[in-house]
Amino acid sequence: MDADFWLQRWNEGQIGFHRGDVMPLLERHWPALGLAAGSRVFVPLAGKTLDMHWLAAQGHAVLGCELSPLAVDAFFAEAGLAPEVSTDADGIHHRAGPLDLVRGDVFALSAGLLGTVAAVYDRAAIIALPPPMRARYVAEVYGRLPAGSRGLLITLEYPQAEKDGPPFSVEGAEVRRLFAHGWDVELLERRDILEQEPRFREEGVTALSTAVYRLTRR
């Protein structure tokens, strides 16, 4: 799952992970974080998700990070926005109103930048990474978030042997292990979604659930 893999997926239009609407689980569970209006929210591996617009509409400043220039350009073009572009050590910033989408490597984001956020929204990041990269991602990226920050984490759970990721299965036990040092983890919801996911059934997956967690940085 190196950079070239994801750039190729976007170049070839293989973006089945992109939703054409706002994630219902985000709308349902975001209030559980209890963030103040104006809080800055981090969206890693953001793609061109409409969830960033939804978060901005709730009064948040949104900091996204995405590797693909096609995704970044499409995000703003499809919203009819012309961002201001600037470059610093974190990457190439595209800013429009409350939105700041950084084109660059999520692992290269500085503690100075991530230290400005109050929460992280992770729908398609941790499940996009194979096990060794997941551990590094939590240690390095989540590890740069400030004390008191919160998170909404959405995962998938299925028999990993039945399908090659991404998206990967990330079981509850792994979530708790990955976040054991420095984070409180609370399961908000787990539900069976196999009937709503024909692509998984076509690949022979026999069980599929989604889980939503609230995270709190100690």
| pLDDT value for 15 | 65
Q: For residue 100, which of 110, 87, 151 has the smallest C-alpha distance?
A: 87
- The mean pLDDT value for 68-93 works out to 96
| pLDDT value for 146 | 98
| pLDDT value for 4 | 78
- In tens, the pLDDT along 151-193 reads 999 999 999 999 998 999 999 999 999 999 999 999 999 999 9
CB 146 within 8 A of CB 126: no
| pLDDT value for 49 | 95
- In tens, the pLDDT along 103-112 reads 999 999 999 9
Centre a 10 Å sphere on the Cβ of residue 14 and count the other Cβ atoms it contains: 10
- The mean pLDDT value for 50-62 works out to 98
Q: Would you place residue 12 in the very low, low, confident or very high pLDDT band (cuts 50, 70, 90)?
A: confident
Q: State the average pLDDT for the chain.
A: 94
| 17 Cα distance to chain centroid | 11
